Amino acid sequence: MAEDLTGRDDSLDTSLIARWRGGDERAATALVERHAHALGRYIASLGERDAADEVVQDTFVRAFGSLDTFRGESSLRTWLFTIARRLVVDRRRAARRRRDVGNLDDSDAATEYTALDGMIAGEAKKRVWAAVGKLSPTQREVFLLRVNEGLSYKEIADVAGTTEGAARVHYHNALRTVKENLND
Amino acid sequence: MTDCPNVDLRESLPEYLNGTLSTARRVEVETHLAACAECTAELDTIRLVREAYDAAVRVDVASVVAALPRPNRVRMPAMRSWRHSHAFQIAAVVSFVALGGMSLAVARSFFNGDVAAGVDSVVVAGRGEFPMTDLPEIGFAGGLGDLEDEDLESLLTALETIEALPVAEPSTVVLGGTGRQGT
């Protein structure tokens, strides 16, 4: 069984945040190590793989700049995902203004995923990316938050701005579609 | 391939891969997986997706950490000049009024008391002689909260014009009748 225990211990996050507030800069490194890769995966799932590094950095800079406003009502990871999502939306808006085109939400993501097909080594992984790339943006986001990060439907609803019920439906529809696409 | 009808167990597969299930629940899932081809296939799909995304994204942790603000920079707001802070201004006015009041009280008790019973007038060097009967009544009605900002500013301005050190020569006090002089 492949276990990924990084980043799912909320009490450890709370302790690291307290240490960082107390001036321990090593706690910042530990926090980044715990969540950076999950954030990168999530940002890639939103169709911003090429900018994942940059968005991850911006997310942490923004989060650490306002850690005092973090109440711990959600997990730190969920909060980071929410910030990252907002940054991706802002980037899309800025790109849309620059290019003066219509809504990029769907078309841009599809283009990104098509381009990614050629960048990922391994036939099986290519097929997975292609299968996931055929999902609608909302389905893909919900599906990957559940599969890659193990977020609950409540957490997914908080991050993606939807409801638990809708998240559950999106997940199961996406899973069915991916299985069908992989079996084609 | 059809889906397993055990929806509750299927819902646990992502958490199973993430290692966030309780021991009892994990054993339950593994027992089910051993007998369910549909759930095993679904778990393989989920694992494949995770591996594909894990391999596709790498983040440079060191560069992220290097860009973070330092802890003490986050919560330390830019400090105003201490001389221009409201706390300092109010403390300065309170001190000024309190010291002034104490001086007046001491002066009045001196002039009205036994020690000064024989004092007819006060002579301030270079400023002439002032009869004791003409001492003005000085009072301060209300609190500092009643003062406008302009009043506070003018008080502070007056405060800043006061010499911090005493003048070289003390004023002369002429004591009536005895011809004594004191400070």
Q: For strand B173-174 and strand B181-182, is the pairing parallel, antiparallel, or unpaired? A: antiparallel
- Residue A15 half-sphere exposure, CB side, CA atoms within 13 Å? 6
| Among the listed residues A1, A59, A52, the one whose alpha carbon sits nearest the alpha carbon of residue B25 | A1
The shortest CB-CB distance from A36 to any of B1, B45, B59 is to B59
Q: What percent of chain B stands above pLDDT 70?
A: 53
Q: Does B45 touch chain A (CB under 8 A)?
A: yes
Alpha carbon of B8: minimum distance to chain A alpha carbons (Å) = 12
Q: Do A1 and B19 touch (CB under 8 A)?
A: yes
Alpha carbon of A144: minimum distance to chain B alpha carbons (Å) = 8
Alpha carbon of B9: minimum distance to chain A alpha carbons (Å) = 13
Q: What is the pLDDT of residue A184?
A: 74
Kindly report which listed range (B64-68, B76-80, B124-128, B155-159) carries the lowest average pLDDT score. Answer: B76-80
Q: Do B67 and A67 touch (CB under 8 A)?
A: no
Q: Do B53 and A2 touch (CB under 8 A)?
A: no
Instruction: Choose the CATH number for A104-184 among 3.40.50.150, 1.10.10.10, 1.20.210.10, 1.10.357.10.
Output: 1.10.10.10
Q: What is the pLDDT of residue A105?
A: 52
Q: What is the pLDDT of residue A120?
A: 53
pLDDT-derived band at B106, boundaries 50, 70, 90: low
The shortest CB-CB distance from B49 to any of A22, A39, A128 is to A128
Residues of B in contact with A25 (CB under 8 A): 70-71
Given a cut of 50, the residues of chain A with pLDDT beneath it are 1-5, 102-104, 107, 110-111, 115
The verdict on pTM exceeding 0.80 is: no
The shortest CB-CB distance from A21 to any of B42, B46, B71 is to B71
Averaged pLDDT, B103-128: 56
Domain layout of chain A by residue ranges: 7-102, 104-184
Q: What is the pLDDT of residue B132?
A: 52
Q: What is the pLDDT of residue B100?
A: 73
Instruction: Choose the CATH number for A7-102 among 2.40.110.20, 3.90.870.10, 1.25.40.10, 1.10.1740.10.
Output: 1.10.1740.10
pLDDT-derived band at B70, boundaries 50, 70, 90: confident
Q: Which residue has the higher pLDDT, A69 or B12?
A: B12
| Among the listed residues A50, A184, A48, the one whose alpha carbon sits nearest the alpha carbon of residue A128 | A184
Averaged pLDDT, B85-105: 72
With a cut of 60, say whether residue B142 has pLDDT above it: no
Q: What percent of chain B stands above pLDDT 90?
A: 25
Q: What is the pLDDT of residue B111?
A: 57
Q: What is the pLDDT of residue B131?
A: 56
Q: What is the pLDDT of residue B74?
A: 45
Closest chain B residue by Cα to residue A176: B3
pLDDT digits (tens, 9 = 90+) for A48-88: 888 899 999 999 999 999 887 787 788 899 999 999 999 99
Q: Does B56 touch chain A (CB under 8 A)?
A: yes
Closest chain B residue by Cα to residue A126: B52
- Residue A92 half-sphere exposure, CB side, CA atoms within 13 Å? 19
